[in-house]
Structure 1
């Protein structure tokens, strides 16, 4: 049985494609492209289930089109839409495990300020311009810059920032 602590969240199946069972994975972590596992893990009815892939190709910088083994029909692919997707942590090198793959991987991190007061959980990262914005569950929209970073922990999914005074009052 696969346990939650053995996998890393990498995204969600957002749609199916065509009649041969392909699906689109909107990813926040490209571990599947850097790691060595030949399978992904999908959460199905609260259970983590391994799915081997036949092939994949990138649609854009945040979406990959997957063809999974034994998912050969449109109906089978439709059943996977909405599933959370994980990658086996053991298949990632230690060097990669301690490196943030992209800013999109921050989704789900708990953010705190320099006094360790919780600001909320990151729900979205807008990195479409040089001014990166983090959307928080608390309703705040805050800028991100490496100079603001005090501490982060990939395993605990926490991010501590030293934000400029008054930035939270701009809402």
Structure 2
């Protein structure tokens, strides 16, 4: 069984494309193409299920047309419409040079002061990249700027983002 902490969300399945089971996949992270993945994980009725890729092609910078194994009709493809798409953390690169914001969703955000003491701020539930200033949304409703100069470290083994947040930011 695939557990939520083993994956990160990379998009959503849209409408069927054509009559042979192809679907539109709107993605926020192209990690599936960068690491040449064999499968994607779809959330079907609350359960994370692997779907093997037969082929895909890019329609735009945000949409790929995907054909999954065993999905051969428009009716079967329609059943997948609206499913969230996830990617295994184990297959994604943990090289911080190629790390994407979506890979840290689910990580715990900790504030590290100048003395090295850590304070848990919250868990990252979403990343807003719609503007030039990227914001991390935490499970407690807080928004934290995702400025590279504030990041101290990314600890993948603890699934933790360590930041040195400016004084007073957490009091807003």
Q: What CA RMSD, in Å, does the superposition of the two structures yield over aligned residues?
A: 3.1
- 1:56 to 1:3, Cα distance in 2 relative to 1, 3 A: same
CA shift, 1:63, in A, is 4.1
State how 1:16-95 maps to structure 2 within 5 Å.
16-20=15-19, 21-44=21-44, 49-80=49-80, 81-87=82-88, 89=90
Which residue in 2 is equivalent to 1:109?
A: 107
Q: How far, CA to CA, are the matches of 1:126 and 1:45 in structure 2?
A: 26
CA shift, 1:107, in A, is 2.0
**TM-score, normalised with respect to structure 1:** 0.74
- 1:118 to 1:161, Cα distance in 2 relative to 1, 3 A: same
**TM-score, normalised with respect to structure 2:** 0.74
CA shift, 1:97, in A, is 3.1
Q: Is the 8 A contact 1:10 1:27 kept in 2?
A: no
Q: Is the 8 A contact 1:10 1:31 kept in 2?
A: no
Q: Is the 8 A contact 1:98 1:154 kept in 2?
A: no
1:118 to 112, 117, 120: 120
CA shift, 1:45, in A, is 5.9
Q: Is the 8 A contact 2:89 2:103 kept in 1?
A: no
Deviates more, 1:45-54 or 1:99-108: 45-54
State how 1:140-159 maps to structure 2 within 5 Å.
140-159=142-161
Deviates more, 1:69-78 or 1:96-105: 96-105
CA shift, 1:135, in A, is 1.3
Please state whether the residue corresponding to 2:103 is helix, strand or coil. helix
Question: Whose helix fraction is larger, Structure 1's or Structure 2's?
Answer: 1
Deviates more, 1:19-28 or 1:147-156: 19-28
Gapped regions of structure 2 (runs ≥ 5): none
Which residue in 2 is equivalent to 1:136?
A: 138
